[in-house]
Amino acid sequence: MDREVRAAVVGCGFQGQLHIDCLRAIEGVRVVGACDPDPGRLREASAAGAEAVFASFTDMLDSVEIDMLTICTMPYLHQQMVVDALGREINVLCEKPMALTYLEGVEMARAQDRSGALLGFGFNMRFMDSPLAVRDLVSRGVLGVPIYTRAWARSSHIPWWGRHFQKDLSGGGALASTAVHLLDLALWLANGPRPTTASASMARVFPRRRRGTAPSLESARAFDVEDLISGHVRCEGGFWLSIEGSWVDNRASTADQPSWDYSLDAFGSLAQAQLDPLLVSVEDPDGAVRSLDLPAGSMNFPQSVKRIVRDFVESVRSGTPPAVTVDQALEVQLCVDALYKSALLGREVDLDSLRV
């Protein structure tokens, strides 16, 4: 249980550097390698405590013995890196979204079946205090039967710090890059119902809006994803959810201070839960509505990453499944694919028609 774990990180941008810090904070974990094509990022990774740094992913796999790998690259690299690492029986924690497409995710799942190594995914919002509190109430039946969840991820700024605005690298924009976190939470908090149909509409507002925020003319020209999307997903058992992703929300924003609004409302047969700020209200038999006395909620991002990385290390040590499983990630990715397909076709999509 307490054996040394030799970890490596590929992709040393903000998230990768955070992973290095999280791994080094865990007793008995060594960061034996870090990989990124950018020399500046490699210098930062080395300064953060990575024992060896590599510009080539294959060189790193060939040069150091690795027990677990965290992948913090853009999604277009996820499938091949996961398959290559699992082929060497290396346990992998891959950042969200799972891949560019559901079919790529299927190939990753098949690689895990062949390997026997662990494969988990970085839906770290599950590890924030507020979602954990709601999940506990769901598991204890306080909310009753899950009926409907409305979820949203709204931002006043485009995430220019990565190539999230370029579809062939990211798989999509406001949904695939940001709202996918809330889509995962909506399904997880409803006990993982099987999605059956999806319908969506989307738009690309840039450059009519947010044009002046582009860091370069090249970035502006490469922008080819949706920055506004709204979707509806039906699931077996009668549960349904709505999901909204936006990079064009004007509320409470200034030129130098982005606003972020990531939250959801979960409606159950007995109670309703609001994620941020955390609020759970129940209706008594006499019709009186009251709020439950709960600890102050939190949506702390670095803390949640620390927790999901620690969870995966513990899974590697014990051989038990990680918190976010391959099957769960596949269902989320299937929903993403179906929502995009629906928006393009202008009609509802049956998810079974996409399943493999």
pLDDT in tens, 300-314: 999 999 999 999 999
Name the helix (H) or strand (E) containing 47: helix 39-48
Q: pLDDT tens for the chain, 356 residues: list them.
A: 468 999 999 999 999 999 999 999 999 999 999 999 999 999 999 999 999 999 999 999 999 999 999 999 999 999 999 999 999 999 999 999 999 999 999 999 999 999 989 999 999 999 999 999 999 999 999 999 999 999 999 998 899 999 999 999 999 999 999 999 999 999 999 999 999 999 999 999 999 999 999 999 999 999 999 999 999 999 999 999 999 999 999 874 555 666 889 999 999 999 999 999 999 999 888 888 899 999 888 999 999 999 999 999 999 999 999 999 999 999 999 999 999 999 999 999 999 999 99
**Nearest one of 302, 190, 200 to 245, comparing CA atoms:** 200
**Orientation of helix 301-318 relative to helix 14-24, angle to 10°:** 60
Its CATH architecture, for the domain 5-124+304-324, is 3-Layer(aba) Sandwich (3.40)
Buried b / exposed e across 131-143, counting CB within 10 Å, b at 16+? bebbbebbeeebb
pLDDT of residue 317: 96
Instruction: In whole angstroms, give the CA distance from residue 353 to residue 244.
Output: 24
Pick the CATH number of 126-299+333-353 from 3.40.470.10, 3.30.360.10, 3.40.1030.10, 3.40.50.300: 3.30.360.10
Domains 5-124+304-324 and 126-299+333-353 share a fold: no
Average pLDDT, the chain: 95
The 10s digit of each residue's pLDDT in 247-293 is 999 874 555 666 889 999 999 999 999 999 999 999 888 888 899 99
**Nearest one of 82, 299, 78 to 181, comparing CA atoms:** 299
**Nearest one of 154, 159, 151 to 183, comparing CA atoms:** 151
Name the helix (H) or strand (E) containing 263: strand 260-268
- How is the chain split into domains, by residue range? 5-124+304-324, 126-299+333-353
Q: Which tokens hold the place of 13?
A: 């941008």
Does the pTM of the predicted model rise above 0.85?
A: yes
Is the CB of residue 305 less than 8 Å from the CB of residue 22? Answer: yes
Q: Could you tell me which residues come within 8 angstroms of residue 284 by beta carbon, excluding any fewer than 6 positions away?
A: 290
pLDDT of residue 87: 98
Reduced to 3 DSSP states, what percent helix, strand and coil does the chain have, rounded to the nearest 5? 40, 25, 35
Helix (H, G, I), strand (E, B) or coil at 356: coil
β partners of residue 143? none
Q: Which tokens hold the place of 90?
A: 């290396």
